[in-house]
């Protein structure tokens, strides 16, 4: 099967992991990622919302911290909802992460026991 919706990003984590545990035993982790552009005129990063599930979420919750350099691969999805106050439909792009790797200095790698993690489980 050819997979066309693929997103690859490298950047720094912008917040501590937001982890939720569900009664079903499923784990969900949300992060933000700041990615620099390849442009001389832009000194502001692009921000991406990341969503991790299952073992990826558990690993991120335990080892990812704000400022950590990571690489991610996943797919783009669009969350849709109605604003409670106005009733207007809202959307938010989210990268559903299938694989991530810890990047950075050797000292950063020694602070955690995982250098990369890949979860091929489909939800």
pLDDT score recorded for residue 106: 57
pLDDT bucket at 65, cuts 50 / 70 / 90 = very high
* pLDDT tens digits along 53-63: 999 999 999 99
pLDDT bucket at 110, cuts 50 / 70 / 90 = low
40 in a structural domain: yes
pLDDT for residue 33 is more than 50: yes
89 in a structural domain: yes
CA distance 52 to 43: 28
**Matching residue, tokens 């106005």:** 86
Cα distances from 1 to residues 4, 59, 95, 123, in angstroms, run 10, 28, 20, 17
Give the list of residues 6+ apart from residue 55 with CB closer than 8 angstroms, or none.
Answer: 117, 119, 121
Total number of domains in the chain: 1
121 in a structural domain: no
Q: Tell me which residue range forms the domain holding 91.
A: 7-116
33 in a structural domain: yes
pTM beyond cutoff 0.85: no
């Amino acid at each position: 099967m050819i997979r066309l919706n693929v997103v690859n990003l490298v950047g720094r984590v912008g917040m501590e992991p937001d982890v939720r545990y569900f009664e079903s035993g499923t784990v969900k982790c949300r992060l933000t990622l700041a990615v620099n552009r390849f442009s001389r005129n832009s000194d502001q990063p692009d921000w991406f919302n990341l969503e991790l599930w299952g073992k990826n979420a558990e690993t991120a919750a335990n080892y990812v911290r704000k400022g950590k350099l990571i690489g991610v691969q996943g797919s783009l999805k669009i969350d849709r909802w109605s604003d409670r106050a106005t009733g207007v439909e809202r959307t938010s792009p989210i990268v559903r992460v299938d694989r991530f790797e810890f990047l950075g200095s050797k000292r950063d790698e020694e602070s955690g026991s995982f250098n990369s993690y890949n979860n091929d489980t489909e939800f």
